């Protein structure tokens, strides 16, 4: 370090003890509460999406683990052809209905809610999602 001139290596916020304490507290919350919540609420979310899938033949595969979930939209289940335009329309309608979503790949709606999401939050999201899907299908 004797060869380094003053200020050559380092920054104002590098190693900030407050930031480190906040990071450790966050990791503690994830380990103590949020990982388990992601598993249980994620299973609930998947079950709600599979019920939605049973009512709408444009939903192909529903997949995920924890709260990392994807809902594939297809032209029909027989061909399983990706429904890109429908996916875009669902995401657009969801935005206007108050639900923020992103796509993943060609025609998959991606769900990655916060780890502290509740079943009530999932229920609200599912109401908005189904309304958005119906609106998008009607064109």
Tens digits of residue pLDDT in 93-115: 999 999 999 999 999 999 999 99
Cα(112)–Cα(129) distance, integer angstroms:
14
Q: What is the pLDDT of residue 9?
A: 64
pLDDT digits (tens, 9 = 90+) for 33-56: 999 999 999 999 999 999 999 999
In this predicted structure, the answer to whether residue 132 has a pLDDT above a threshold of 90 is yes
Mean pLDDT of 131-135: 98
Would you say 101 and 85 are in contact if contact means Cβ atoms under 8 Å apart? no
- List the chain domain ranges: 17-138
In this predicted structure, the answer to whether residue 1 has a pLDDT above a threshold of 60 is: no
Topology adopted by domain 17-138: 3.90.1150
For the residues of 32-57, what is the DSSP string, one character each?
Answer: IIIHHHHHHHHHHHHHHHHHHHHH-T
Rounded alpha-carbon distances, angstroms, from residue 27 to 16, 23, 40, 43, 119: 17, 6, 19, 22, 23
* 46 within 8 A of 64, measured Cβ to Cβ: yes
**pLDDT tops 80 at residue 67:** yes
């Amino acid at each position: 370090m004797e060869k380094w001139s003053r200020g050559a290596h380092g920054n104002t916020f590098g190693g900030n003890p407050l930031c480190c304490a906040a990071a450790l507290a966050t990791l503690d919350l994830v380990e103590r509460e949020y990982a388990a919540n992601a598993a249980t609420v994620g299973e609930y979310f998947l079950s709600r999406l599979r019920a939605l899938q049973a009512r709408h033949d444009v939903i192909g595969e529903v997949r995920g683990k924890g709260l990392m979930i994807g809902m594939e939209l297809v032209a029909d289940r027989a061909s399983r052809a990706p429904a890109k335009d429908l996916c875009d329309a669902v995401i657009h309608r969801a935005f206007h209905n108050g639900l923020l979503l992103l796509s993943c790949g060609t025609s998959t709606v991606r769900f990655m809610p916060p780890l502290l999401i509740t079943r009530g939050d999932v229920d609200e999201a599912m109401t908005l999602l189904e309304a958005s899907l119906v609106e998008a299908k009607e064109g």
